Structure 1
Amino acid sequence: MMKTIGIIGAGAAGLCGARHALAAAGMTPIVWEQSTKVGGTWVYTPELGKDKYGLPIHSSMYKNLKTNLPKETMAFPDFPFPDGEESFIHHTEVLKYLESYCDHFNIKPYIKFRHHVQEVSPVMKEESPPAWNVTVKDLETNVSSTTTCDALLICNGHYSIPRIPHIRNIDCFKGRKIHSHDYREPFLYKDDTVVILGAASSGLDICLEISGVARKVFLSHNQPVNHPSDFPANVEQVRGVVEATENGFNLMDGSHIEADVIMFCTGYEFSFPFLTKDCGITVEDNVVKPLYKHLIHSAYPSMAFIGIPFLVCPFPLFDFQVQFFLKFVGDLISLPSKMEMDEQTQKELEEKCGTGKPLKYFHKFGPIQWVYNNDLAALSGIPPLPPVVEKIYETVSDCRRAHLMEYKASCYKILGPDKFSRLK
């Protein structure tokens, strides 16, 4: 019997899910996408707030963004980026790549554009796992309908709901407050003094861009040591913000800075507003529960969440996650019992966070992504990534830390399974 694979979202993860469902025997995907095109977070729009249907703007893409990973590490394993002189490419090139991926694997006929997912609930069956009722609204006709799916891939993206930390007396600050989700262009900050709160990828990137027009940029963070790279002359690293005043902020070390703007580069929340309580999914301190291998709902394993891990090469990770899940759905591999899956997850949580590390970093991968990918590949019976991808990734990480202002000028070329060259 043909199985219907529901997929929420037509970004990179959703496209990957549809591509592999189409390739699997006995599966048909149906993809719901509330915008008019594929690409998810890679679809740039100058709009802020809500769209014409009253739905929040999904994308956090800003106009001048270039990738902070080289395209040589970003590609899906079976679909390389086109050759080119640049490794760190403009976001429009990534969108073109995803559109080409969609066309190459003939995914578009299976996508329902302008369809907003309203509700997902389990349909309990005598056998396990359950099916899923997915209720969606056609935004053009305003008509809702429900589809029953044998399995469900949650691919709604995790870079659209801003996380804003609590700061004492923040309402007293008379300047502008903005989250990086709503950042589009630097000219709005001309001659301003700007506090960038957060020194992860978006904070560092936006800090450099704004420094070209701002009078002064304070890069505020609580990392144990300052970022070791050189910065523009008008950028100063300072401790984290603890309290706001009318014209500035008090910092963790007791010092005070004055500013016109504070920009929260403080990340995003995992959010699944369409899941009913019966779905049994919770998000606590940035940990999505109960997920086996950061992926499969351990109580209802016909549901999977693609792309929960962060600080990764996302497209390859999506590919391994999708294939592992679909091998299970297709009865080609089996999973441990719920008790065993939950025990493994709890053990991993204790190993990662039991030494005082905050729970919010449980899904943060970095160096462990390679072991994770290889594990999923081995369990799925598919080839792992060639070692060269990890080698380039680690080289770029070192260059980014030491030479933040110049590292994107380098060009990488893969020469073999474990060899690459670097120019500049």
Structure 2
Amino acid sequence: MAMCRPKYCIVGAGAGGLACARHAADTGAEVVIFEQTDRLGGTWVYTDEIGLDRNRLPIHTSMYRGLRSNIPKETMGFPDSNIESKLSYVTQEEVLQWLVGYADKHELNKIIKLEHQVIRVVPFQDNKQWVVNVKNLRDNIFFTLKFDFIMVCNGHYSSPFVPEYPGKNEFEGLIIHSHEYRSEERFTGHHVLLVGAGYSASDIAIATVKYAKSLVISHHEPDKIKFNISSSIKVKPSISEITTTGARFVDGTEINCTVIIFCTGYKYSFPFLSSECGIRLEENHVQPLYKHVINIAHPTMALIGIPFSVCPTQMMDLQARFCLKFFTGNLLLPAEDEMLRDMEVDVEERRNRGMPKKFMHKLEGNLQPRYYEDLAQTAQIEPLKPIVMKLYDECMRRRAEDLLHYRDDRFEVIDDENFNVL
């Protein structure tokens, strides 16, 4: 009598979901991907729309017009699937085209259910299976399926984090988050205050300074991070309060502005996971996770793509291969108490480095290559090529040196260890 094939539920058809589906399908499993939008690609899909989509769900993507990658394509892609481009810092369209091609090559389109929203995930039958409630958004039909494994790949760049400040509700101008930013022309003639110092803040500053009447950037480390984009940009420390016509800062200075754009990052969000799944969020720290990916409370569930300050596509492919080594039974996971201890050791190191709870998944400095090596060694799988981290480090060095022009760099990979700058 033939054995039943294990069933995998993949939540989301972005880069992480496609990698998980491909690798799970390669094991002979029965795989389905539920994607609540109308196309694959996740955060790499661009739309002019903001707010709600046609199914009255929040727009998922935070992509803005003209975006180019902030790390070179040579650190992106998957280990056996490169992004083709004459550029090293590729456009949004090129990344999306690569994902579409990857899905075609591995015949994933036949297992992707577009406009299908995962409503609720609950452990079932002594925690040996999962009950997944799904809504077919096109036909407004609800149905329930059972799975052996869940791989959550819904991304973490779609639920904006907007900090609270005294007076914010009294501001008479426009307040948005970078999630709703699409193009710079919208801010022609405005006095703009950008809050934050990350990738989106610098990209929006570079684009918007050409159109805004004035541009001020407020962030926590004005002496450390230099916005050497334009002499017309003013940099201020943290906001102490928002006034009806602008903002006051912790140094006592004050400005007037007509627009405030919060480039303040995103929150992890898993509204479909029932409390019985055992996943909890505390100040954006997702727990309890073994190696930042496997749900220790129910180790047939993985949350893919949680770490940040990473090479995301390469990491998600590595995480998928890591999880499947255990899900297939080729290797056994440690006991629950051992996995919890492993997590606590990682957390303790971060605390000792002075990292706040919201950075418990940040792979800064040597934490990133160590994480990749740990996943590969633990699961006895092919590691990432050394060239990936070497190019990432070069990118970060050049970005700190020349924020405006670092994307002009082009790289030539010579072998797994070496590269040239063209």
CA contact (8 A) 1:307 1:317 kept: yes
Map of 2:394 onto structure 1? 395
Shift of 1:229: 5.2
With the length of structure 1 as denominator, give the TM-score of the two structures: 0.96
CA distance in 1, matches of 2:66, 2:24: 34
Q: Which residue number in structure 1 is paired with residue 405 of structure 2?
A: 406
Distance 1:390 1:277 in 2: 37
Write the deviation string for residues 320-374 of structure 1: whole angstroms up to 9, x where unpaired.
1111111111001111111111111112111102454211001011332211112
Structure 1 CA distance for aligned equivalents of residues 415 and 353 of structure 2: 39
| Partner amino acid, structure 1, of 2:18 | L
Q: Provide structure 2 residue ranges, at least 5 long, that are not aligned to the other structure.
A: none
The CA RMSD measured in Å over matched residues stands at: 1.2
User: Tell me, what secondary structure is at the counterpart of 1:232?
Assistant: coil
Residues 152-231 of structure 1: matches in 2 within 5 Å?
A: 152-223=150-221, 225-228=223-226, 230-231=228-229
Alpha-carbon distance in 1 for matches of 2:189, 2:52: 29
Q: Secondary structure at the match of 2:414?
A: strand
Q: Which residue of 1 aligns with 2:6?
A: 3
| Alpha-carbon shift at residue 276 of structure 1 (Å) | 1.1
Partners of 2:238 and 2:191 lie apart in 1 by: 16
Aligned counterpart in structure 2 of residue 236 of structure 1, from 220, 234, 237: 234
Aligned residues of 1:15 and 1:102 also touching (Cα < 8 A): yes
Letter in 1 for 2:66: N
Equivalent position SS for 1:311 = coil
Are the equivalent residues in 2 in contact too, given 1:229–1:403 (CA < 8 A)? Answer: no
**Which of 272, 291, 294 in structure 2 is aligned with 1:293?**
291
- Residue pair 1:121, 1:278 contacting (<8 A) in 2 also: yes
Deviation string 1:119-151 (CA, Å, 9 cap, x unpaired) is 1100133xxx52111110111111111110100
Could you tell me how far apart the structure 1 residues matched to 2:387 and 2:292 are? 25
1:319-398 equivalent positions in 2, closer than 5 A: 319-367=317-365, 368-398=367-397
Secondary structure at the aligned position of 1:416 is classed as: coil
Give CA-to-partner distance per residue, 1:262-281, whole Å, 9 cap, x none.
10000111111111111111
Q: State the alpha-carbon separation in 2 of the partners of residues 393 and 216 from structure 1.
A: 33
Counterpart of 1:12, as a letter, is A
Flag as ranges the 4+ runs of structure 1 deviating above 3 A. none
Matched residues in 2 for 1:332 and 1:258: separation? 62
Q: What is the total number of aligned residue pairs between the two structures? A: 418
The percent of aligned pairs where both chains have the same amino acid is 39
Shift of 1:224: 6.4
**2:264: which partner in 1?**
266
Instruction: Answer with 257-266 or 375-384: which moved more.
Output: 375-384
1:137 to 132, 135, 148: 135
User: Which residue pairs with 2:301 in the alignment?
Assistant: 303
Q: Distance in 1 between matches of 2:227 and 2:240?
A: 25
Q: How far is 1:78 from its partner? A: 1.1
Check conservation: 1:287, 1:363, Cα contact below 8 A.
Answer: yes
Query: When the two structures are superposed, what TM-score results if normalisation uses the length of structure 2?
Result: 0.97
Stretch deviating more after TM superposition (13-22 or 352-361): 352-361
Alpha-carbon distance in structure 1 between the residues aligned to 2:290 and 2:221: 30
